[in-house]
Amino acid sequence: MHPDANSPSHRIARVAAHLNPSRAQMEEGTGSGLRPAACRAKGGAPGFKVAVLGAAGGIGQSLSLLMKMNPLVSVLHLYDVVNTPGVTADVSHMDTSAVVRGFLGPQQLEAALTGMDLVIIPAGLPRKPGMTRDDLFNKNAGIVRALCEGVAKSCPNAIVNLISNPVNSTVPIAAEVFKRAGTYSPKRLLGVTTLDVARANTFVAEVLGVDPREVNVPVVGGHAGITILPLLSQVSPPCSFTPDEISYLTTRIQNGGTEVVEAKAGAGSATLSMAFAAAKFADACLRGMRGDAGVVECSYVASEVTELPFFATKVRLGRGGAEEIFPLGPLNDFERAGLEKAKKELSESIQKGVSFMNK
């Protein structure tokens, strides 16, 4: 090191270079929060390395903020095809310990993913009023395939939290990508259905007149319309509902996404509640990866609970991802009928994802 390298003027120059990475540096991957080796502000407490793919989007920005607040995260990589320099500069000013780095465009995907422990994927188009989640398939299938190919290449052992819709089909697509790359571990691929549980907890708590934080509703099946199956007979703490309440709650939980899409009237779908749900699920994954006992969340995973290859139920999260998949438990007649309808639609969505990869 030059004898003056630690002089006040040199230190200021170093920090300034870090704070204002030029767009050219960002495009070369030399800026974007990559800290100069001699910079004192190393951050980086022990913890996990997490990447958000689609970090400049409606979900991605709030999710990046929430992951920067998570003390289990030591390094946070923000990747998108647009606007990551701004989001990265912004989030990096939060005085929490995670070191934030931004990555822009496919030529930086490899750098964004190398060394990551957990990859969260909210990249892709959201719905507009009148669309189903399946209407997003044509655009989002290719995005998910390309990003998962990047995961297989650069961080094959990372746990993946997949948010991009239609989740019922994008998770099977991701599984096929990993199988082809020879990196597939069913335990490490988790479709995020936490927002269905958050909505179910909220709406049930409203009906019961209690704090939603005290309520836990298992939601099984998948993540679209009738495939979203709240098990109101298994609510914790135990409670009972009238037939009208069951009908109202089931419909509202299944249509929660559409309720937001219509209220936003063309400006997108759930982003804030989704970022909250994704951050909650990612935190549960990180606690499991750390070795905490008894971390259980609902998730859409490879499963033998039904005859379908993928299904959402409660799973126990551990060091390797979904370590244990819990059975459905006792269902009442209403839930059994709902399950049969859900399975029919789910089966088609799974097949659609697999066929996309076999084209």
Ligand X SMILES: NC(=O)C1=CN([C@@H]2O[C@H](COP(=O)(O)OP(=O)(O)OC[C@H]3O[C@@H](n4cnc5c(N)ncnc54)[C@H](O)[C@@H]3O)[C@@H](O)[C@H]2O)C=CC1
DSSP string, 257-296: HHHHHHHHTTS-S--HHHHHHHHHHHHHHHHHHHT-S--E
Please name the helix (run of DSSP H) or strand (run of DSSP E) that holds residue 76, with its range, or none.
strand 73-80
CA–CA dist 220, 206 (Å, integer)? 21
| Choices 40-48, 141-149, 213-221, 257-265; region in contact with ligand OAA by CB under 6 A | 257-265
According to the binding rule CB under 6 A, does residue 301 interact with ligand X?
Answer: no
| Choices 28-36, 44-52, 76-84, 199-207; region in contact with ligand X by CB under 6 A | 76-84
Residues 180-219 touching ligand OAA, rule: CB under 6 A, are 195
HEC assignment per residue over 316-350 = EEECCEEEEECCCCCCCHHHHHHHHHHHHHHHHHH
261 binds, among ligand OAA, ligand X, none (CB under 5 to 8 A by kind): ligand OAA
| Choices 118-126, 225-233, 313-321, 346-354; region in contact with ligand X by CB under 6 A | 118-126
Shortest Cβ 54–ligand OAA spacing (Å): 13
According to the binding rule CB under 6 A, does residue 33 interact with ligand OAA?
Answer: no
Q: Which of 28, 31, 35 is nearest to 11 (CA)?
A: 35
| Choices 12-20, 81-89, 125-133, 140-148; region in contact with ligand OAA by CB under 6 A | 125-133
CA–CA dist 311, 10 (Å, integer)? 57
123 binds, among ligand OAA, ligand X, none (CB under 5 to 8 A by kind): ligand X
Shortest Cβ 259–ligand OAA spacing (Å): 8
The pair phi, psi for residue 74, each rounded to 5°, is: -100, -35
260 binds, among ligand OAA, ligand X, none (CB under 5 to 8 A by kind): ligand OAA
Q: Determine the size of the site formed for ligand OAA (CB under 6 A).
A: 12
Q: How many CB atoms lie within 10 A of CB 151?
A: 27
Please name the helix (run of DSSP H) or strand (run of DSSP E) that holds residue 47, with its range, or none.
none
Q: Which tokens sit at 180?
A: 């082809």
DSSP-assigned letter for residue 53: E
Shortest Cβ 277–ligand X spacing (Å): 7
**Strands 310-318 vs 296-302: parallel, antiparallel or unpaired:** antiparallel
Write out the catalytic residue numbers.
Answer: 223
64 binds, among ligand X, ligand OAA, none (CB under 5 to 8 A by kind): none
According to the binding rule CB under 6 A, does residue 269 interact with ligand X?
Answer: yes
According to the binding rule CB under 6 A, does residue 268 interact with ligand X?
Answer: yes
Sole residue written with tokens 């496919």 = 106
According to the binding rule CB under 6 A, does residue 306 interact with ligand OAA?
Answer: no
According to the binding rule CB under 6 A, does residue 124 interact with ligand X?
Answer: yes
According to the binding rule CB under 6 A, does residue 143 interact with ligand X?
Answer: yes
CA–CA dist 228, 170 (Å, integer)? 16
CA–CA dist 89, 86 (Å, integer)? 5
Q: Which of 152, 145, 138 is nearest to 174 (CA)?
A: 145
Residues pairing with 300 in the sheet: 191, 312
The footprint of ligand OAA (CB under 6 A) covers 126-127, 133, 165, 195, 256-257, 260-261, 269-270, 274
The footprint of ligand X (CB under 6 A) covers 53-54, 56-60, 80-82, 122-127, 136, 140, 143, 146-147, 163-165, 167, 192, 195, 223, 268-271, 274
